Chain A
Amino acid sequence: MSTAMSLETVTGLVKPWAVSTAASGPERIDVEVRAEDIIPAVTAITRARWGYLSAITGLDYTAPAAAPAEGAAPTEGAVTQAAASQPLGLLYHFCRDASVLTLRVKLPRENPVIASVSPVLPSAILQEREVAEIFGIQVTGITKDRLLLSDDWPEGLYPLRKDYTPDMVQKIRESTPPPSGAPEAHEKAGTFVVPIGPQHPALKEPAHFDLTVDGEIVTGVTVRLGYVHRGIEKAAENRSWIQNLYLVERICGICSHIHATAYALGVEKLAGIAAPPRAEAIRVLFAEMERIHSHLLWLGVAAHEAGFDTLFMFSWRDRETIMNLLDEVSGNRVNYSVNLLGGVKFDVDGPRRDAILKGMDFLEGRIQHYLEVVTRDESFLRRTRAVGTFPTETADLLGVVGPTARASGVRRDLRVDAPYSAYHQFPVTPVVDDGCDLAARFVVRTKELSESCRLVRAILDALPPGDLSVPIPRRIPEGEAISRVEAPRGELFYYLRSGGGAKPERVKVRTPSLANWAYVLSVAAGHRLADIPMIVVGIDPCFSCNDRAVEVRRLPTGGAPGQEGSSERMSWEELVRYGIRFYGETEL
């Protein structure tokens, strides 16, 4: 079905409740509905099986006080005054292939109440809890437990509203006594709760799960996120369009490049320009190299969760190949900083190109080996086959994305469904598996490694000639844009809104992990405790990984006091050589 037809269908579906309809782009349709109609409208879309709920964006329509002059901070009074009249918005983005339907609800600022759509779409609950916390929208029918903000965050303070200022937290904390430290009663009588996290060997990044168990069998799961909530969406509103490029690249420590790409594509869409073909190809080249590093990292982590440390060690050893290539080409192992608004920063040619090709030769051989391991190793299959089974039907409905969806037989890959950047020129064959279990997730990700290697070769073989970037205005025209890209973990969703100034009005990021939690929460119950880390890791929740520090503090050598604490910078090669020398000299 073409995008136009698809949009026509869905417009028909929600017509009975539409207040107004606007086509906000070639692939988008924007339908405004009243708050009380949201449930019937969402039900109609879900019944017809039109796409999936990709993201829920909260919005404050208040314009930043009369576009203040450069450098001048808006006065608090002005914002509060302007805010008084403006409504809050709630945007439900439904996606189907390339087409996006946005259901727009405007809610009065004084009393923003809306019913939860979670009875129809259980996957919406985490996103609703997010907007409830950070926008103060009262979503009826969901738990009031904190999901993202810290436990001591003051009640009634909503950080993403425009009338919020950071000093408000301090003021409220000073005026109210700290809550008494009575420990929370987690356990009801007769239940045994195993707390996993925030600090736990299975978790590489903090999160908290309360697992209710009956012996070894898990009977219930709750999740608490937000331990590393850094307020990046708010921070983005206070930075210029260009500064934000570097901010969003630091959202994730693994898929840094894809965040910057999604953001850059969105801003370019708003500004009405397109990066040159060579730049787009280089973006895709890095995206695929990043996918290789991310999937290999995942393979190791997942093997470790299964207690298969040999596979963990081997896959991470081989991952160094791709990390070194990324470092060689970009100068960094994690935050490559490839993107500019309007293009890329550097070229890939000559020796760099040869190095990448050589690395691919090695990796392709190893990937074949890993594919054999995950499909043939009997002891490993005993831990993955028929574990965490997630039927195609449910995966489709709950809007699960990325390899998690594809391993459940849902053909959902934005590189194919809605080719962006250079994916028109370098088509991808999606890897889909009908296994629906953990074993299938291993197969899908491992095969995707091969596919990424093939793409890297294809791009290097046919890198289009031309410029690397085009200029982009500092002020971005008014409007809003949705940018969706396929991160290693699945669909990454960016919603950008510009008021025509040098700073964005709203940057909304929905990472793939958030979309995939629904799967964990729905399948965990009934499994054995030993399977839970595997199930959690099955979605590849985004774990930050640290880049290596390359500053070495040299200790004063014995005898001569010398310059104490003089520091020395080492390049990556020097550090590697230093490590080998160190272990060579040390008696092992």
Chain B
Amino acid sequence: MNGWLAVLAYVIFPGGLFLVVGSLAYEYVDRKLVARFQNRVGPRWFQPLADFVKLLVKEEIVPEGVSPALFIWLPAVALGAALTAGLYVPLAGLAPTWSFRGDLVATVYLLMMMTLCIGLAGANTTDRFSIIGAVRALTQLFSYEAPFLLALLGPAVAAGTWRIADVNTYAQGHLWMIVSQPLGFVVALIGLMGKLELPPFDAPEAETEIVSGALTEYSGRGLAFFRLGRDIELFIGLTLISAFYLGGLANPLQFLVKTLALLVVTAGLQSLFARLRIDQTVGLWWRLGALAALVQLLVLIVLKSVGVHV
């Protein structure tokens, strides 16, 4: 793909604009579902967009004692990384815009940038709540990241390729990997919730303890970018997991059905539990998450080495 077509793919569809609009739509669905589960009315359909525009218009206050360059650029880097990650995944059930061998690893790293940026942003300010939030965000990163990566490696190992597009194709022709690798699926889905700091993994931004965590000092554009970045990660994360575990994404309809089904599950999980303390989160991931992902991967490798293909 080259020339103006490539630019179109990056900026309008399926990257760029489509990614942004899709993410905001998914944020709406998520918020609406959680609200309905909690017997609330929930937001109107354009609320996420309205929030985003409102934040863009608002004044961005740069507090005293921070490095202004870091303060302003971190949200942009986080958003940029999330948008870039969108190029490697089969958005809307179409072939990824860009693809190379090992792009799975690159995508996982790009998705991690968000949490790193949030951690840095929190540590950059002198605010007590931000610092504690940053520490918690990074602690959480170290707990879910390894199991999450292992859980995404499972399907890749089964398909024998580290190229997302190829895993997607492989998944379409085989038994759904949610059936053959159930442990991996659970770890990946819950890992995504941990990554996005969704309840019950919202200790890094627990409002009743540390106000808004690492983002307490953010207002205006920076906050809008971080929030949008997180929405995009949700969108990409759901795409990745459905491509890998739910029999691949062959067309837009499959994409819609499968990702929305996953979203219903995560929304349900969000409203079912009380928040975990950060020590409980870490304990849960290392005691259960990492173990489950490792067991899954070991079983897979052993089966593969004796010639059984799943």
Cβ-based interface call for A371 (8 A):
no
Instruction: Tell whether, in the assembled complex, residue A202 and residue B38 are in contact, meaning their CB atoms are under 8 Å apart.
Output: no
- Which of B202, B206, B209, B275 has the largest count of A CB atoms less than 10 A from its CB? B209
Closest beta carbon of chain A to B66's beta carbon, Å: 18
Cβ-based interface call for A587 (8 A):
yes
**CB < 8 Å neighbour of A530 from B42, B45, B206:** B206
Q: Chain A: how many interface residues by the 8 Å CB criterion? A: 37
Closest beta carbon of chain B to A442's beta carbon, Å: 11
A-contact 0/1 string along B115-153, CB 8 Å cutoff: 000000000000011001001000000000000000000
Cβ-based interface call for B70 (8 A):
no
Which residue from chain A places its CB closest to the CB of B271 in the assembled complex? A310
Closest beta carbon of chain A to B46's beta carbon, Å: 10
Instruction: Tell whether, in the assembled complex, residue A532 and residue B209 are in contact, meaning their CB atoms are under 8 Å apart.
Output: yes
Cβ-based interface call for A383 (8 A):
yes
A342-386 contacts to B, CB under 8 A, are: 377, 379-380, 382-383
B19-44 contacts to A, CB under 8 A, are: 37-42, 44
For chain B, which range describes its interface: under 10, 10 to 19, 20 to 34, or 35 or more residues? 20 to 34
- Which of A213, A307, A529 has the largest count of B CB atoms less than 10 A from its CB? A307
Cβ-based interface call for A163 (8 A):
no
Instruction: Tell whether, in the assembled complex, residue B209 and residue A529 are in contact, meaning their CB atoms are under 8 Å apart.
Output: yes
**CB < 8 Å neighbour of A194 from B40, B132, B206:** B132
Instruction: Tell whether, in the assembled complex, residue B211 and residue A200 are in contact, meaning their CB atoms are under 8 Å apart.
Output: yes
Cβ-based interface call for B302 (8 A):
no
Given that A307-B202, A533-B209, A586-B44 are contacting pairs, would A314 and B39 also be in contact in the complex, using a CB cutoff of 8 Å?
Answer: yes
- Which of B38, B39, B203, B275 has the largest count of A CB atoms less than 10 A from its CB? B275
Q: Which residues of B contact A532 (CB under 8 A)?
A: 209
Instruction: Tell whether, in the assembled complex, residue B273 and residue A379 are in contact, meaning their CB atoms are under 8 Å apart.
Output: yes
Given that A193-B128, A382-B280 are contacting pairs, would A303 and B39 also be in contact in the complex, using a CB cutoff of 8 Å?
Answer: no
Instruction: Tell whether, in the assembled complex, residue A379 and residue B200 are in contact, meaning their CB atoms are under 8 Å apart.
Output: yes
Closest beta carbon of chain A to B299's beta carbon, Å: 28
Q: Which residues of B contact A529 (CB under 8 A)?
A: 132, 209-210
B-contact 0/1 string along A513-534, CB 8 Å cutoff: 0000000000000001111110
User: Bound complex: CA of A306 vs CA of B277, how far in Å?
Assistant: 9
User: Bound complex: CA of A303 vs CA of B37, how far in Å?
Assistant: 16
- Which of B37, B42, B207, B277 has the largest count of A CB atoms less than 10 A from its CB? B277
Given that A192-B128, A305-B208 are contacting pairs, would A310 and B38 also be in contact in the complex, using a CB cutoff of 8 Å?
Answer: yes
User: Bound complex: CA of A415 vs CA of B273, how far in Å?
Assistant: 36
Cβ-based interface call for B279 (8 A):
yes
User: Bound complex: CA of A193 vs CA of B126, how far in Å?
Assistant: 12
Instruction: Tell whether, in the assembled complex, residue A310 and residue B128 are in contact, meaning their CB atoms are under 8 Å apart.
Output: no
Instruction: Tell whether, in the assembled complex, residue B200 and residue A307 are in contact, meaning their CB atoms are under 8 Å apart.
Output: yes
Closest beta carbon of chain A to B10's beta carbon, Å: 34
Instruction: Tell whether, in the assembled complex, residue B41 and residue A528 are in contact, meaning their CB atoms are under 8 Å apart.
Output: no
Instruction: Tell whether, in the assembled complex, residue B44 and residue A588 are in contact, meaning their CB atoms are under 8 Å apart.
Output: yes
**CB < 8 Å neighbour of B279 from A194, A213, A377, A528:** A528
A175-215 contacts to B, CB under 8 A, are: 192-195, 200-202, 213, 215
Which residue from chain B places its CB closest to the CB of A303 in the assembled complex? B274
Closest beta carbon of chain A to B205's beta carbon, Å: 10
A286-336 contacts to B, CB under 8 A, are: 303-311, 313-314, 317
Cβ-based interface call for B276 (8 A):
yes
A555-588 contacts to B, CB under 8 A, are: 583, 586-588
Q: Which residues of B contact A76 (CB under 8 A)?
A: none
Q: Which residues of B contact A192 (CB under 8 A)?
A: 128
Cβ-based interface call for A551 (8 A):
no
Cβ-based interface call for A216 (8 A):
yes
Q: Which residues of A contact B39 (CB under 8 A)?
A: 313-314, 317
Cβ-based interface call for B272 (8 A):
yes
Q: Which residues of A contact B48 (CB under 8 A)?
A: none
Instruction: Tell whether, in the assembled complex, residue B273 and residue A202 are in contact, meaning their CB atoms are under 8 Å apart.
Output: no
User: Bound complex: CA of A314 vs CA of B40, how far in Å?
Assistant: 9
Instruction: Tell whether, in the assembled complex, residue A307 and residue B275 are in contact, meaning their CB atoms are under 8 Å apart.
Output: yes
Q: Which residues of B contact A200 (CB under 8 A)?
A: 211
Residues of A within 8 A of B (CB): 192-195, 200-202, 213, 215-216, 303-311, 313-314, 317, 377, 379-380, 382-383, 528-533, 583, 586-588
- Contact sample, A vs B, 19 pairs, CB 8 Å cutoff: A194-B128, A194-B132, A194-B210, A200-B211, A202-B207, A215-B135, A306-B275, A307-B199, A307-B203, A307-B206, A307-B208, A313-B38, A379-B200, A380-B273, A383-B277, A528-B277, A530-B206, A533-B209, A587-B45
Can you list the 7 inter-chain pairs with the closest CB atoms, starting with the nearest? A307-B275, A308-B274, A379-B273, A202-B208, A313-B38, A530-B277, A380-B274
